[in-house]
Amino acid sequence: MPDLKRVCIIGSGNWGSAIAKIIGNNLPTMSDKFLPEVHMWVFEEMVNGRKLTEIINTDHENVKYLPGFKLPPNVVAIPDVKDSALGADILVFVLPHQFVRGVCNQLKGQLKPNTIAVSLIKGFDVAEGGGILLISSVIKQELGIPCFALMGANLANEVAAENYCEATIGCKDKETGALLKEVFQSSYFRLVVCEDEETVEVCGALKNIVAVGAGFADGLGYGDNTKAAVIRLGLMEMVKFCEVFYPSSKQSTFLESCGVADLVTTCYGGRNRRVAEAYATSGKSIEQLEKEMLNGQKLQGPPTAFEVNYMLKSKNMEERFPLFTAIHNICKGNLRTRQFMDCLKNHPEHM
């Protein structure tokens, strides 16, 4: 009897649930390698008087975070994160980045030897002394296991609807990259394994900042040409950020789904763009709009802008990344939204 691998999904939000649908459908087709049952950790809450885990396990739908899409019955919702990860060989981390440390703390010392992780999380963590950490690095450090990344142009509802799309797995190790590809790939979700692990993950985090800028431009009433300028200048800053802070980064990685493709889809169809547009027109705070518009889903762009700014400020490098800096300052109310246009017009790319 071969040693069958157990996959556990840590998170069950909008993307977590869409990815559970893919993994839950995939694993039973590879019964020589994987156990068919997929554990999914669910941050327990009451929805219409019932526990969300009970709803998922009986109705097979995450009615709060991915309504309208059935999950395969072999996806089992578990409210205790330690129980969910028991015996897991592959942990799929997919939760808003602000909660990663808390979850890792609960998992410390609870994992099997040789467990590996893959992070689908877009964002950074701030490090003492003015730096930032990749989320995969936090998982590696906290749990002492290898952690790879999967990023791409993947609006969760479109993936759940099985509309064709692509994603990038950042993984240097060929055998592990191939194993992860088997877990995730389907006829409509096509994957490329890329060795440039750090750039794959950094692209996923930074594009959310640019999406906030795209939302500001939309809210200010500008059209597609302006948004294209935001995307281009944002991309220039993403490339520069990698050149400065991740010098082994390869420019070709920006041409993978995790790069330009994710940037475009987020700047047109994402939550960060939508809430930023409302911020520019409503006078309400980002926090208030997140509560009013997203029904418990979480924005990653504004906190990521803060994390990046925390590092740029500590290194006296804010002026080298004026778009990222202006977006952070607008989110914090230190700059008016309309001043975003000054940032675009005076961007050093034009000097």
Ligand X SMILES: O=P(O)(O)OC[C@H](O)CO
289 contacts ligand NAD (rule: CB under 6 A): no
The smaller minimum CB distance to ligand X, of residues 270 and 322, is found at: 270
Rounded distance between C-alpha atoms, residue 157 and residue 249, angstroms:
31
218 binds ligand X (CB under 6 A): no
Residue 14 near ligand NAD by CB under 6 A: yes
For residues 51 and 12, the answer to whether their CB atoms sit within 8 Å is: no
Using rule CB under 6 A, residue 304 touches ligand X: no
Contact of 123 with 40, CB cutoff 8 Å: no
- Minimal distance in Å, beta carbon 145 to ligand NAD? 19
321 binds, among ligand X, ligand NAD, none (CB under 5 to 8 A by kind): none
Q: Among 51, 207, 240, 345, which one carries the catalytic annotation?
A: 207
Cβ of residue 259: shortest distance to ligand X, in angstroms?
11
Q: Mention every residue, 6+ apart, whose C-beta is less than 8 A from residue 349.
A: 233, 236
Listed residue (187, 181, 130, 144) closest to 164, CA to CA = 187
Q: Is 238 exposed, middle or buried (0-12, 13-18, 19+ CB in 10 A)?
A: buried
Distance CA 41, CA 191 (A): 24
Assigned token pair, 334? 């230190």
Q: Is 207 a catalytic residue?
A: yes
- Mask of contacts with ligand NAD, 213-242, x by CB under 6 A? ------------------------------
Size of the site for ligand NAD (CB under 6 A): 24
Q: Which among 45-53, 72-80, 263-271, 285-293 is the span making contact with ligand X, rule CB under 6 A?
A: 263-271
Residue nearest to ligand X (CB): 270
For the CB of residue 76, give the shortest distance to ligand X in the complex, in Å. 26
Rule CB under 6 A: say whether 81 interacts with ligand NAD: no
Long-range contacts of 291-300 (CB under 8 A, 24+ apart): 295/64, 296/13, 296/45, 296/64, 296/65, 297/13, 297/14, 297/65, 297/271, 298/13, 298/96, 298/98, 299/208, 299/271, 299/272, 299/275, 300/96, 300/97, 300/122, 300/123, 300/205, 300/208, 300/272
- The nearest distance, CB 341 to ligand X, in angstroms, is 22
Q: Which of 51, 181, 298, 332 binds ligand NAD (CB under 6 A)?
A: 298
Residue number of the CB closest to ligand NAD reads 13
What one-character DSSP code corresponds to residue 134? Answer: E
How far apart CA 207 and CA 267 sit, in angstroms, is 8
Q: Does 17 bind ligand X (CB under 6 A)?
A: no
Residue in 26, 115, 136, 300 binding ligand NAD, rule: CB under 6 A:
300
CB of 151 to ligand NAD, least distance (A): 7
Q: Does 258 bind ligand NAD (CB under 6 A)?
A: no
For 84, how many CA atoms within 13 A lie in the half-sphere containing its CB?
28
CA-based Rg of the chain, rounded to a whole angstrom? 20
- Write out the two tokens for 215: 């939302």
Does residue 51 touch ligand NAD according to CB under 6 A?
no
Is 179 a binding residue for ligand X by CB under 6 A? The answer is: no
Contact set for ligand X, span 22-41 (CB under 6 A) = none
The count of residues in the chain is 351
Confirm or reject binding of residue 303 to ligand NAD (CB under 6 A). no
Interacting span for ligand X (CB under 6 A) from 21-29, 147-155, 302-310, 311-319: 147-155
Alpha-carbon span 62 to 185, nearest angstrom:
22
Sites of contact with ligand X (CB under 6 A): 122, 153-155, 208, 211, 262, 265-266, 270-272, 300
Tell me the catalytic residues. 207
Sites of contact with ligand NAD (CB under 6 A): 11-16, 43, 65, 94-97, 99, 120-123, 154-156, 296-298, 300
